[in-house]
C-alpha cells in the first residue's frame, strides 16, 4: 500500500538522442532531428474498494465527530481551569507570606 509503483520498462519514454555539436569540419544544420512519438500511457485501474455512505453511517460519523470535539473541549477547559486555580492559590500564598514578612518588620 505504501510502496511506490513504478511504470513497467516498456512504457517508459525513450531517452532523447543527443545532437552532435557542429565543428569546423561539419556545418551546423538548422533542421531539428525527428522525435519519435511517445505512446499514450493509460493509468492503471485502482484496486481499492470505493466507500459508500449510507444515512446511518453519515449520522454515526457526525455523532462521533461531535463527541470527539466535546471531549477534547472539556479536557482543554478543565486544564485551563486547573491552571487558573493554581495561579489564584499561588497569589493568595504570596499575599500571606508578604503580610507575615511585613508584620515581622513592624514588630
State whether the Cα torsion 65-66-70-73 is positive or negative: positive
Q: What is the pTM of this model?
A: 0.44
Burial pattern 5-33, b for ≥16 Cβ within 10 A else e, equals eeeeeeeeeeeeeeeeeeeeeeeeeeeee
Q: Residue 79 above 60 pLDDT?
A: yes
Contact present, 10 and 41 (Cβ < 8 Å): no
In the structure, how many helices (H) and strands (E) does the chain have? Answer: 1, 0
Most confident of 13-17, 39-43, 46-50, 95-99: 95-99
Amino acid at each position: 500500500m505504501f510502496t511506490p509503483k513504478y511504470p513497467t520498462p516498456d512504457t517508459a519514454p525513450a531517452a532523447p538522442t543527443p545532437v552532435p555539436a557542429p565543428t569546423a569540419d561539419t556545418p551546423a544544420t538548422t533542421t531539428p532531428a525527428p522525435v519519435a512519438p511517445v505512446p499514450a500511457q493509460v493509468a492503471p485501474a485502482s484496486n481499492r474498494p470505493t466507500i459508500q455512505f449510507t444515512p446511518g453511517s453519515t449520522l454515526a460519523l457526525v455523532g462521533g465527530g461531535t463527541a470527539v470535539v466535546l471531549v477534547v473541549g472539556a479536557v482543554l477547559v478543565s486544564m485551563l481551569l486547573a491552571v487558573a486555580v493554581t495561579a489564584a492559590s499561588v497569589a493568595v500564598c504570596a499575599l500571606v507570606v508578604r503580610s507575615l514578612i511585613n508584620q515581622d518588620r513592624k514588630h
